[in-house]
Structure 1
Amino acid sequence: MLLIALGQLRRRPAAFAGLAVALLLAIATLTLFGSLFAAEVTTPASARKASAGPGLMVIAGAFGEIAVLVTFFVVVNALGFALRQQHKELALLRTIAATPRQTRRLARAQVVTTTLLTAVPGWVAGVATARRFLAGLQRLGAAAPEVRVPVTPLPMLVALAAVLAVGLMASAVAARKISRIAPAAALTASSTEHGRTGAPRLLAGIGVLVGGALLLRLTATRPPEQVDKAGQAALLGSLVLLIAVALTGPFAVRVLITALGAPVRALAPGAGWLADANLRGYARRLSSAVVPVALLVGLTGTMLVMTSTAGHAANATATSVTSATDVWLRQAELTLLACFAAVSTLNTLVAATAERRREFALLRLVGATRPQLLRMLTVEAVLTTVVGVLLGATVAGAASAAFSVAVTGSPMPSVPAVTCGYVVAGAALLTVPAILATGLRAVNGPAAELVGGGRD
């Protein structure tokens, strides 16, 4: 299986590019926070007591738990698309007597190989970022000047082990579908899509949604002096709600597309009608594209609104060092989450559009021109952005309202309209060009040969 995995990596490097970037970012992030933890442990107790702020262990723990959850979310998504682009090969292996266990072993081998290939650059980036992060805390007085990031391989090894564990769990989730279907059905499964969201998935989504609501209720009941704990609970609650969106995505996006379809068809009669039909017919594929956009908008929007709300409700007795440190830490956390969300968004959109080559070729054979296909993709890209922004904004609004109740007693948070507008614009700038650039490449090539399976 290792040789087959290496062969697939050599044959399809583009399919694993998004997974590699996600894994590298995960290793770098966990190395960063592990290095901060090690710096705290190796610092004398007198120096730790002399510094203001929450302490490196608290910072590393608070950031790390969110990072692990977001890592799992992003890696499952990236690995799922890497496996989908190998669907024909995996299906062929199933027809020549490869067992479901062997298929899962192949997925695990690919994850392990990609993780090991990205380990060294991830470690280098993580240690370098840890030193810059520590220097920023020292400038703010939140860490003692004598604190240093120790030269030890332990944080790097722990990061590698954690990312391998996350990757192996992600491979079990992503490989489940292809390993469970019958060998003969596997060859045609990639070209079809179930029309409904399965009952187990829908029930799981409802259960996760309830869990997210309970976390937000916990957030709202925090006393005003526990702003940091309320913020972490709200951020965790928004992430859980986004997981619920991912589970119930096909159902949710079908409802939204039904509502948006009529005005789109009226505004763009030709391309709008075709785009609306495509998005309704392939709600699961649309959900895969929408969820990363919702992740980007939901997490960054939650962080921005919480930061603005906490700033407006800041207590006059807070020291300037503590206030500056809190703002700096929130900005750092926002940057981290935005990086993960942007990687997931780009990888998903590029992979989802690239795998539609045969669909575009068939449309060309029945008379569609390349400009018509690009107009259709433009409408789809705009609708994908709108649906993703609506879902992400709903999650961010719920999480921010719970945080605002804890901090101010009112469910009306302070919304930085201009900054949130930049987030929406950023989501559009990621989504629309990514879909159009990949689509422009996908609509080229001999249509008859692509439909017949001569090229991939």
Structure 2
Amino acid sequence: MLALALRSMRKRPGRFAATLLSAFLGAAIIMTFNSMHDTAGQPGVDSVSAESLSTAASVVGGYGTLLVFFAVASTLTVNVRQRSAEIELLRCSGATPAQIKRMVVGESVAVALVGAVLAIGPAMLGGRALLHIFQDSGQVQRSVDYSFGPIALLSGIDITVLAAAGAAFMAVRRATRRRQPRGGARKFFAYAALAVGVAAVCSTFAFSARDAALMAPPVYGAILLSVGFALLSPRLLKGLLDRLPLSGPSGYLAVRNMRRRTDELSGVLMPLILFTCMATATLSMQAVENDAIDASGVPKSIDAKNLETLNLVVVGIIVVFSCIMLINSLYAATTYRGREFGQQRLAGATPGQVLAMVGAEGVILTVTGVFFGTLAGLAGILPFTLVRTDGTWPGQGLGIWLTIVAVAAAVTLGTSLITARRALRTPAVAAVTLAA
């Protein structure tokens, strides 16, 4: 089956482009920040510089691992679902579920390994640029030289390959089941994340306004809440669709199609919820912290500068990575619907109605993802603001939130509509015939 996997990759390389891109970017992020561990471990590095570098590597390395798994999992889930006919044909030809799992996992591991190797060069350049940022802000001495060592290399390759193997195994396991999965494990982890997230957010009130670790509990609590919402996204989307009063041909088709594809669309909602929550919570809390420091009249300490740099870098990574995850998932899901679009046109729908249907789906996805992402973010922002400033609402919160919503809407709607427009260029009869 491994030989079959390699032949499948050679015949259809375009199918694995989204997985390769996710693995490449994920490995680049992990290796870029973990190279700070290698740099901090060099002889002669002072303790302040070593602490700044190690903190950046530890914090962003944890975020990076989570994002890599979600990115690879979402793209592989879409990929495996699109191959349901091929998997069923293999089973009818005599292949066992274990053999199919080995084939798909082998493909994923090979693609992830290639992506991780390709990411080594960009990660070295990114690590040097990151070190210069710390040096320009005064957090690291100018005498510290950059080092890309075994910690960065092994962590990037190992985490990327393990994430790809685990995500592929879970995706193909669901696809090869003859009976409908009950989703008990997913529900357990979702409720566990929500419970721990609520506990972390509530623990914010146990800190004082001057505690250096005040921002940690609400940030991690908000992230865990967003993970819980992301895992429950199929149920949340179904509940919303049952209450939507959309009318007209495009609205009817949008709601009907989304009810049928809620599990597939959860791969789009996951990065959207995570992006909205993490960007809103981190940027808003950092703005509250900056305002509080400015109001006190005390110059920023090295720890405060470290925290601000980390928050800005983390948000930048989240924005780029989440946008790529969204684009990958939406592009793969919309491109695969070429036959569906052709059937709708042959049944009497105009290209404009099909585009309006895709636009309505994009709006529903954006509203759902932004709503639950904002809800998780506010759960962390409000306690932090209350403890840090005795206020109830961050002064710059609305402007930050509107910017994040604009980015989320532009990526979701733009990718969906552009991809659907390209698919509609193919004549309806040809689209149905080619996909059959």
Deviation of 1:64 after TM superposition, in Å, equals 0.9
Could you tell me how far 1:449 is from its partner in structure 2?
A: 5.3
Question: Does the Cα contact within 8 Å between 1:33 and 1:63 map onto a contact in 2?
Answer: yes
Tell me, yes or no, if structure 1 residue 213 matches structure 2 residue 194.
Answer: no
- Mapping of residues 29-178 of structure 1, within 5 Å: 29-44=29-44, 47-49=46-48, 51=49, 54-178=51-175
1:318 is displaced (CA, Å) by 4.8
| 2:38–2:148 CA contact under 8 A, matched in 1 | no
Shift of 1:198: 4.7
What's 1:284 paired with? 263
Residues 281-430 of structure 1 mapped to structure 2, 5 A cutoff: 281-314=260-293, 316-319=297-300, 321-408=302-389, 411-430=392-411
Question: How far is the alpha carbon of 1:446 from its aligned partner?
Answer: 4.6
Change (3 A) 1:150 1:207: closer
CA distances 1:359-380 after superposition (whole Å, capped 9, x unpaired): 2222122111212211211222
Amino acid aligned to 1:433: G
Residue 417 to residue 327, structure 1, CA distance change in 2 (3 Å): same
**1:455 paired to 2:435:** yes
CA contact (8 A) 1:296 1:338 kept: yes
Distance 1:6 1:26 in 2: 23
Supply the distance in 2 between the matched residues of 1:396 and 1:206 (Cα, whole angstroms). Answer: 17
By how many angstroms is 1:406 displaced? 4.5
Contact 1:209 1:241 in 2 (8 A): yes
Q: Find the counterpart in structure 2 of residue 188 from structure 1.
A: none
For residues 308-350 of structure 1, what are the alpha-carbon distances to aligned partners after superposition, in whole Å with 9 as ceiling and x for unaligned? 1211222544535544443222111110111221111111111
- Take 1:147 and 1:411, find their aligned partners in 2: how far apart are those partners? 42
Is the counterpart of residue 14 in structure 1 residue 11 in structure 2?
Answer: no
1:166 Cα deviation from its structure 2 partner: 2.0
Q: Structure 1 pair 151/402, CA: closer, same or farther in 2 (3 Å)?
A: same
- Name the stretch that deviates more: 80-89 or 403-412: 403-412
Q: CA deviation at 1:411?
A: 5.0
**Which residue identity does 2:7 align to in structure 1?**
G
Q: Say if 2:116 and 2:156, in contact at 8 Å, map to a contact too.
A: no
- TM-aligned CA deviation for residue 94 of structure 1: 1.7
Matched pairs, number? 434
Q: Contact 1:306–1:400 at 8 Å: present in 2 too? A: yes
Q: 1:285 to 1:350 in 2, by over 3 A?
A: same
Pairwise CA distance, 1:54: 4.6
In the TM superposition, what whole-angstrom CA distance separates every residue of 1:67-115 from its partner, at most 9, and x where no partner exists? 1112112211111112222222222112222122212211221121112
Query: Contact (CA 8 Å) 1:66, 1:236: kept in 2 or not?
Result: no
Contact 2:339–2:432 under 8 Å retained in 1: yes
The 1:88–1:437 alpha-carbon spacing in structure 2 relative to 1, beyond 3 Å, is same
Contact 1:111 1:167 in 2 (8 A): yes
Shift in Å, 1:200? 5.2
When normalised by structure 2's length, the TM-score is: 0.91
SS in 2 for 1:338: helix
Residues 235 and 302 in structure 1, CA contact (< 8 A), matched pair in contact too: yes
Q: Note closer, same or farther for the CA distance 1:114–1:95 as it changes in structure 2 (3 Å cut).
A: same
Q: Higher mean Cα deviation, 93-102 or 2-11?
A: 2-11
Distance 2:324 2:191 in 1: 27
Q: What are the Cα deviations for residues 237-284 of structure 1, in whole angstroms up to 9, with x where unaligned?
A: 33322222222112211222334x21x42xxx3322322232234332
2:219 and 2:81 mapped to 1: Cα distance? Answer: 31
Distance 2:132 2:221 in 1: 31
TM-score between both structures, scaled by the size of structure 1: 0.87
Distance in 2 (alpha carbons) for counterparts of 1:139 and 1:200:
47
1:250 paired with 2:234, answer yes
CA distance in structure 1 between the aligned counterparts of 2:183 and 2:155, rounded to whole angstroms: 37
Q: What root-mean-square deviation, in Å, do the aligned CA atoms of Structure 1 and Structure 2 show?
A: 2.5
Q: Closer, same or farther in 2 for the Cα pair 1:235/1:364, shift >3 Å?
A: same
Does the 8 Å contact 1:289/1:349 carry over to 2? yes
Q: Where does the alignment leave 5 or more consecutive residues of structure 2 unmatched?
A: none
Give ranges in structure 1 of 5+ residues lacking alignment: 183-193
Residue 129 of structure 1, CA deviation: 0.9
Aligned to 1:185: none
Alignment CA distance shift 1:356-1:298 (3 Å): same
